[in-house]
């Protein structure tokens, strides 16, 4: 796989943040609108519809609060958290959406908790962005593999591998540039925001991809020290 070291990108303007918020809440709003239209035409929504609407509303709420946290770095609270738990939370949020596209999650987590010193909501935002990209790249369904490992004693590795369309070589170098997107409804802010959050956690993010085979995102974060455990 072609390797790309993620470049450092900074969010600089309020305009970029505003566009990011609009981007991230458009999909759940579209779902909610579709269901409400269904309700108007059929006057009947199933319990499943209700469930999805509730989880989409929760998602909007989460995204807005995460962007508020990103917009106010002074309010960021770092705590020791388990990456396992964070990933499980994020997957349960995206699971119903993934199922609609014939996508399954595979966990390679082992027994460890994999604790890091982090702002939990920011890391959740990163994993939401990456897993959403994976789902959007897998039109024919398939498996998204989440793997936790120790690249060294004091670091934790997270890899997220999809079986999607892959990324052409000439596009790899543009990833993470603000507004770079190949999608009709994309704004190309997800990876930039993710990159910025990972840098804020003294970590690294690398993306490798092979056209027609899939894409892998590897994040390396410093492991939390034992004495910092709650």
Residue 221 binding target from ligand ADP, Mg ion, none, CB below 5 to 8 Å by type: none
Q: Is the dihedral of CA 172, 93, 117, 81 positive or negative?
A: negative
Count of residues near ligand ADP by CB under 6 A: 21
Helix/strand/coil (H, E, C) string of the chain?
CEEEECCCCCCCCHHHHHHHHHHHHHHHHHHHHHHHHHHHHHCCCCHHHHHHHHHHHHHHHHHHHHHHHHHCHHHCCCEEEEHHHHHHHHHHHHHHHHHHCCEEEEEECCCCCCEEEECHHHHHHHHHHHHHHHHHHCCCCEEEEEEEEEEECCEEEEEEECCCCCCCHHHHCCCCCCCCCCCCCCCCCHHHHHHHHHHHCCCEEEEEEECCCEEEEEEEEEECCHHHCC
> Cβ of residue 89: shortest distance to ligand ADP, in angstroms?
20
| List 87, 93, 118, 175, residue binding ligand ADP (CB under 6 A) | 175
Question: Segment contacting ligand ADP (CB under 6 A): 11-19, 63-71, 120-128, 132-140?
Answer: 132-140
Distance of CA 48 to the CA centre of its chain: 24
Nearer residue to Mg ion within complex by CB, 164 or 190: 190
- The verdict on 28 binding ligand ADP (CB under 6 A) reads no
List of residues contacting Mg ion (CB under 5 A): 133, 190
Query: Which one of 7, 99, 183, 202 is in contact with ligand ADP (CB under 6 A)?
Result: 183
Kindly write out the interface string for residues 37-76 of this chain, putting x where it contacts ligand ADP by CB under 6 A and - elsewhere.
Answer: ----------------------------------------
Q: How far is the CB of 132 from Mg ion (least distance, A)?
A: 5
Nearer to Mg ion, 179 or 228 (CB): 179
Nearer Cβ to ligand ADP (121/129): 129
State the Cα–Cα distance between residues 64 and 13, nearest whole angstrom.
Answer: 17
Window 134 to 163, contacts with ligand ADP (CB under 6 A): 134, 137, 162
154 or 213, CB closer to ligand ADP? 213
* 182 counts as binding ligand ADP under rule CB under 6 A: yes
Q: How many CB atoms lie within 10 A of CB 115?
A: 21
User: With respect to ligand ADP, which residue has the nearer C-beta, 157 or 166?
Assistant: 166
Give the residues lining the site for ligand ADP (CB under 6 A): 23, 129, 133-134, 137, 162, 164-165, 167, 175, 180-183, 186-191, 215
């Amino acid at each position: 796989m072609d390797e790309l070291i993620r470049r450092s990108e900074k969010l600089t303007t309020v305009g970029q943040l505003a566009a990011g918020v609009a981007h991230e809440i458009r999909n759940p709003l579209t779902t909610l609108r579709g269901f409400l239209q269904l309700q108007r035409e059929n006057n009947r929504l199933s319990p499943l519809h209700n469930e999805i609407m509730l989880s989409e509303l929760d998602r909007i709420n989460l995204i807005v609060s995460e962007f508020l946290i990103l917009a106010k770095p002074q309010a960021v609270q770092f705590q020791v958290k388990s990456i396992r738990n964070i990933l499980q939370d994020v997957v349960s949020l995206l699971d119903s959406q993934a199922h609609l596209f014939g996508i399954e999650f595979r966990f390679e987590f082992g027994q460890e908790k994999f604790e890091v010193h982090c702002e939990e909501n920011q890391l959740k935002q990163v994993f939401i962005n990456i897993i959403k990209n994976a789902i959007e790249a897998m039109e024919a369904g398939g498996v998204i593999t989440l793997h936790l490992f120790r690249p060294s004693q004091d670091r934790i590795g997270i890899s997220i591998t999809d079986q999607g369309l892959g990324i052409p070589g000439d596009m790899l170098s543009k990833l993470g540039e603000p507004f770079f997107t190949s999608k009709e409804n994309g704004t190309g802010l997800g990876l930039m925001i993710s990159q910025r959050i990972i840098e804020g956690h003294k970590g690294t993010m690398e993306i490798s991809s092979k056209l027609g085979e899939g894409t892998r995102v590897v994040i390396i974060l410093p492991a939390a020290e034992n004495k910092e455990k709650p």
